[in-house]
Structure 1
Amino acid sequence: MNLPRHPLRVNVGFLLNAPVGYSRDIHFEFPLVQLEGDFLVSEFNGLLRVSRTPQGILSQCDFQGYTEVECVRCLSPFPQFVHTVFSELYAFNRRSLTESNLLFPENGYLELESLVREYLILEIPISPVCRPDCKGLCPVCGENLNLRLCEHSILPSQV
């Protein structure tokens, strides 16, 4: 079976015959990863630990990278650091399902792309700011006050 390649598709079929408690660490490091659609993560790296349990395959994930977001004050794009840690159990049968309803795939490949995307998106701040001292935009003319002052930003005491 030839599946299209993706860096977050991992063959863990070898764990089916492994003893309970066996685990393996898989390291990831990519300069740029595109996750489902247009979600880009640069300097993407992390660790996946897959472990054989009586109920299924436990995946313990720790991923980080940078994604471009827009500052809520000045509307300039900037790289936002995102980091997530999560665990999911891929059950061998329906009786062992957890609330995430993940079954171990018949082909032995874990498809982590959508999970990693969701967890990283949850780590993006609701109101991202490019830097703590961001001055934002002039409310009158819209000038980015980080780049230059406009006539509206000069206080009467400065004249």
Structure 2
Amino acid sequence: MTLVDDARFRQVLGRYPTGVSVITSREPDGTPVSMVVGTFTAVSLQPPLVGFLPDHGSTSWPRIRATGRFAVSVLAADQQDVCRMIVAKHPGRFDLLEWADSPSGCPLLVGAAAWVDCVIESVQAAGDHDVVLGRVLDLDAGPTSSGPLVFLGGAYAEATPTL
């Protein structure tokens, strides 16, 4: 068995674009909590399930997990600054961002390409990450005309469909 170097793993898999999404929830005292992920995906139609893979080193994931619910804001290409603010854990970021509550009370970022509201269905450890499945309660496409924000080769890009 060959061990794969971390840098090579990132370099090779960096050729595959990943969507940029923000996972949010609200703690019992009302405090919004958020994290950026590049691993959000549809999982099942029946029942409607989505998934994401938070790193075990995340400080936000345990707080989100404890709430039992989360919302996903699929960022639009023009929301790079929003992404950077959340990744940098900018203090008071929710005072600076435009957001609204999902039907379950989780923050949704205004201007996102899409949003999905979920309850946590299951969590399974997988290496240095967890595999989180969420049962979809509600979802909708955003009003934006730009494509979704993606990360490719170490840089942000816009995904645009070819017709």
Give the TM-score normalised by the residue count of structure 1. 0.21
Q: Max radius of gyration: which structure?
A: 1
TM-score w.r.t. length of structure 2: 0.20
With a CA cutoff of 8 Å and minimum separation of 6, indicate the structure with the bigger relative contact order: 2
